[in-house]
Structure 1
Amino acid sequence: MVSVPSNRGYEITAASLAKRYDGYEIEDSHGWFLNMLPPAPLTVLDIGAGSGRDGLHYAEKGYQVTAIEPTDAFRKIAQAKEGAEAIEWLEDTLPELETLGQRRFDIITLIAVWMHLDVEERERGMVRLNDLLEPGGFLAMTVRHGEPPEGRLMFEVSDEEVIEAARGLGLSLVSHANVESSQPLNKAKGITWSRFAFRKG
């Protein structure tokens, strides 16, 4: 069986997507969990860093940021931005995240990533996330629901699956909500998002 990369479809659209992502204020898209983050200086692992907007925000706030992005075009865009030199940029993918070895982080963010993994990858991925999270650490993640954009690989993932997988590893749910897409076209298509925040221990 030929493996299909979870970031399929992003390389050729990275420039336009980065412009779109950067057009949204981080407080508007991530305000639901930003006020739950423990204060800097702490370590942040941003998985699926995309345009680098989020990682740069965390670095500006005084966090020590490691950004994971498997798409070359996204990394080049992000690393060209002012302040990007303060961030550790790595090419890697879930579920292995081999470049991180036995490291641990105080905060892990996983925004618009989880639905790109198949069920077996999600099972292994949750174990890996738990291993990477410091005791007392904070994990924020979002999952997209609905028809995927053309050319991109996505799977439908239930909220129950996410919550139970995390709970089985000792991650406590501290926030959960379902919201409509903020993008008008996606909203018209019925696209929704699930938001989750967990704490370890």
Structure 2
Amino acid sequence: MDAQTTHCYQKNAKEIFDRYGACCDGASRYFTLSFPPQAKILDIGTGSGRDARQLLELGYDAYGVDPCNEMMSLAITKYPELSGRITEGNLPRLEKPFGGNFDGVLCSAVLMHIPDEQLFDSVFAIRSVLKDNGRLLLSRQFSS
């Protein structure tokens, strides 16, 4: 995510957090179809923590990364079970959070925030944290 977008999220974290927490992302209906039971999943752009929490509730070993410290703080306050499971992270410079080696990666409404010139490196970074035969679930917002 570029610095300008990250700054916007930091500045408006509470409003964005409330908006994301109130909506239901269509990707969640694909969790059990996309990831094997009890898989270790990384939620890139965890934001409000909504998806990471739902993954935990479904029995997944879920973790998250987000570039916005304010969003992470709000997520941990609302969902204490995420404490120790989310950390700062950003595409395309994604270190191997929580040891890497994930069975699956969730990227819900994230790639739209990545500048075109960083997309290749971002996809490469996602691949670097996945196990062989790992799965990637992408969602993106479309406007009319």
Instruction: Please classify the TM superposition score into its range, dividing by the shorter chain length.
Output: 0.7 to 0.9
Q: 2:98, 2:75 → 1: CA distance?
A: 24
Match of 1:95 in 2: 92
Match of 1:16 in 2: 15
Letter paired with 1:76: S
Q: 1:133, 1:4 → 2: CA distance?
A: 26
Percent identical: 24
Structure with higher helix content: 2
Would you say how many aligned residue pairs link Structure 1 and Structure 2? 143
Q: 1:31 to 1:97 in 2, by over 3 A?
A: closer
2:51 matches 1:48: no
After alignment, is 78-87 or 35-44 more displaced?
78-87
Match of 2:54 in 1: 57
Deviation at 1:32? Answer: 5.0
**Residue-by-residue CA offset, 1:34-79 (whole Å, 9 max, x unaligned):** 2412332110100000110110011111111111011111011001
Match of 1:72 in 2: 69
Q: 1:73 to 1:134 in 2, by over 3 A?
A: same
Q: 1:21 to 1:85 in 2, by over 3 A?
A: closer
Letter paired with 2:24: E
SS at 1:129 equivalent: helix
SS at 1:97 equivalent: coil
Q: 1:71, 1:86 → 2: CA distance?
A: 15
**Residue-by-residue CA offset, 1:175-197 (whole Å, 9 max, x unaligned):** xxxxxxxxxxxxxxxx15xxxxx
Q: Please tell me whether the aligned partners of residues 64 and 85 of structure 2 are also in contact (alpha carbons under 8 angstroms).
A: yes
> Where in structure 2 are there 5+ consecutive unaligned residues?
none
Q: TM-score, normalised by structure 1?
A: 0.63
Q: Residue 133 of structure 1 is aligned with which of 107, 130, 135?
A: 130
> Where in structure 1 are there 5+ consecutive unaligned residues?
146-190, 193-201
Deviation at 1:142? Answer: 2.3
Deviation at 1:107? Answer: 1.1
Letter paired with 1:93: N
Q: 1:82 to 1:128 in 2, by over 3 A?
A: closer
Letter paired with 2:14: A
Q: Please tell me whether the aligned partners of residues 107 and 133 of structure 1 are also in contact (alpha carbons under 8 angstroms).
A: yes
**Residue-by-residue CA offset, 1:58-116 (whole Å, 9 max, x unaligned):** 11111111110111110110011244346511101111212538621111011111121
Q: Whose RCO is larger (CA < 8 A, sep 6+)?
A: 2
Q: Please tell me whether the aligned partners of residues 50 and 78 of structure 1 are also in contact (alpha carbons under 8 angstroms).
A: yes
